[in-house]
Amino acid sequence: MTDMSDFDVLVLGSGPGGQRAAIAAAKLGARVGLVERRTMMGGVCINTGTIPSKTLREAVLYLTGMSQRELYGQSYRVKDEITIGDLTARTSHVVGREVDVIRAQLTRNGITVLPGMGKFIDRHTLQISDGTGHARSVTADKVVIATGTSPARPPTVDFDDQTIIDSDGILGLERIPRSMVVVGAGVIGIEYASMFAGLGTKVTVIEQRMRMLEFCDTEVVEALKYHLRDLAVTFRFGETVTAVERYAKGTVTILESGKKIPAETVLYSAGRQGMTDHLDLPAAGLSADKRGRITVDDTFRTEVDNIYAVGDVIGFPALAATSMEQGRLAAHHACGEPAHPMHELQPIGIYTIPEISYIGRTEDELTEERIPFEVGVSRYRELARGQIIGDSYGVLKLLVSPDTRSLLGVHVFGTGATELVHIGQAVMGLGGTVDYLVDTVFNYPTLAESYKVAALDATNKIRQVNQLTD
């Protein structure tokens, strides 16, 4: 690093990727600047994406009482008339606290926050416009682009942020709609579909493809669809939206097949676009693809050797979880500090109601690759903890190699899935086998015990084959 620049490392964006890059670089002794709009500290993650949506989900689960209905009956509610205010109060509280935590962490680590939007003048110089007509130039040895994404808005759709909205518009809704069309059954679309269905909104999900969440375990997705249908969600797969019409009393979504679907609100969840338009990338010798994404190598370095990029702006998997780790690793590479490569085992968590999580391979992938596996299943209803919490539908599934007895995949559906998956991740990451889970004593009564039950199921099946063939 040189003393000639204003900063050793300048980070653009304060989402999970930018935040972790800035803090890691500061911990390594670098002089760090971080550029962010005043209203967006914490990025999409804290302000409009992960944190508000997960808080909303928690509020829905609590206020509707839906997770307690197996115990107290189908009419059980914590609050009869849930208002949008009930939901947003919790969201604003959590978002406010999280923003404070981030500000404090940046200050504690001596990071200079530069309010505004940055754009390149050249590969070492950026102009920062603070939104009030003032601009300043700063120089940096290394730059980390962590500018994230914004919702893609098809030009043919007339968004008005009240009746026709994208996922950013959810937080601005003035009331809970009685009916909603969700266009796009990706993770964000289906998470919100399940939350609104839980609130009693009549939801119709429209998806161009014939399946949804096709990267997940097929049985788990079937179970989710069953649950959502039970909450009056209608699925329209293999259907394309040709127009969304807005009227005084609502909207009509018109499908290519000729169907017309009325709804109070339409939520468009049609992918996301990299926030690179306003960066003037060519001034730094860089470019983005048509979805605004920047290409990087496995050290998160772009084709310009002093510029790195992390998080959603580099594309898949576009999760807060991975963005954080990419940010930390990019800072290490930028500061010349040795770093392990990104771990290949990465969990996927989908916060639908009920939630889904997995790590490793699916049955379909293993079958396609001709890798033999045995399945071990544990159902929450057979666990004491499942009965206590009133979750009779939860399931944990282990995919086990009959040859090496290693875990090939862990799939969880139901309460606590996104937490439980990490037990499997640790066993897989440390090269453990199914026998570790068979021999382990778990706290009782817990959902974690499902690992032992599923491991016994898998090993019993493997033994049966061995007894017949030995």
Ligand X SMILES: Cc1cc2nc3c(=O)[nH]c(=O)nc-3n(C[C@H](O)[C@H](O)[C@H](O)COP(=O)(O)OP(=O)(O)OC[C@H]3O[C@@H](n4cnc5c(N)ncnc54)[C@H](O)[C@@H]3O)c2cc1C
Q: Which residues of the chain form contacts with ligand X (CB under 6 A)?
A: 12-18, 35-37, 40, 43-45, 49-50, 53-54, 117-118, 146-149, 167, 188, 275, 278-279, 311-313, 318-321, 323, 351
Decide whether 306 or 446 has the Cβ nearer to ligand X. 306
Q: What is the DSSP string of 62-107?
A: HHH-GGGHHHH-TT--S-SS--HHHHHHHHHHHHHHHHHHHHHHHH
Report the nearest approach of ligand X to the CB of residue 131 (Å): 11
**For strand 374-379 and strand 395-400, is the pairing parallel, antiparallel, or unpaired?**
antiparallel
Which CB, 91 or 433, lies closer to ligand X? 91
Q: For residues 12 and 407, which CB has a smaller minimum distance to ligand X in the complex?
A: 12
Measured CA to CA in angstroms, residue 37 lies from 12, 116, 129, 134 at distances of 10, 4, 9, 13
d(CA 35, CA 128): 8
Smallest distance from the beta carbon of 393 to ligand X, in angstroms?
Answer: 21
Pair of tokens at residue 271: 């992918």
d(CA 359, CA 349): 9
* List of residues 6+ apart from 19 with CB closer than 8 A: 34, 42, 43, 102, 105, 106, 324, 327
Tokens 């097949």 map to which residue? 257
Shortest approach of ligand X to residue 178 CB, angstroms? 22
Q: Which amino acid is at 310?
A: V
What's the closest the beta carbon of residue 142 comes to ligand X, in angstroms? 16
- CA-CA distance, 219 to 294, in Å (whole number)? 35
Q: Pick the closer one to ligand X by CB: 97 or 259.
A: 97
What is the distance, to the nearest Å, from the Cα of residue 328 to the centroid of all Cα atoms in its chain?
Answer: 18
Q: Which is nearer to ligand X, 275 or 400 (CB)?
A: 275
Q: How far is the CB of 17 from ligand X (least distance, A)?
A: 3
Give the list of residues 6+ apart from residue 433 with CB closer than 8 angstroms, or none.
404, 405, 406, 407
**Cβ 285 to ligand X shortest distance, Å:** 17
Residues 391, 198 contacting (CB under 8 angstroms): no
Nearer to ligand X, 84 or 321 (CB): 321
Q: 66 or 275, CB closer to ligand X?
A: 275
CB nearer ligand X, residue 191 or residue 217: 191
Q: What is the smallest separation between the CB atom of 151 and ligand X, expressed in angstroms?
A: 7
CB 458 within 8 A of CB 400: yes
Shortest distance, position 387 Cβ to ligand X, whole Å: 28
- Tell me the C-alpha distance between 46 and 404, whole Å: 42
Least Cβ distance, residue 112 to ligand X (angstroms): 14
CA–CA separation, 288 vs 317, rounded Å?
17
- Nearer to ligand X by Cβ, of 42 and 386: the residue is 42
- Whose Cβ is closer to ligand X: residue 224's or residue 408's? 224
Spatial distance between the Cα atoms of 394 and 216, rounded to a whole number of angstroms:
16
Residue whose C-alpha is closest to residue 415's, from 248, 227, 243? 227
CB of 34 to ligand X, least distance (A): 9
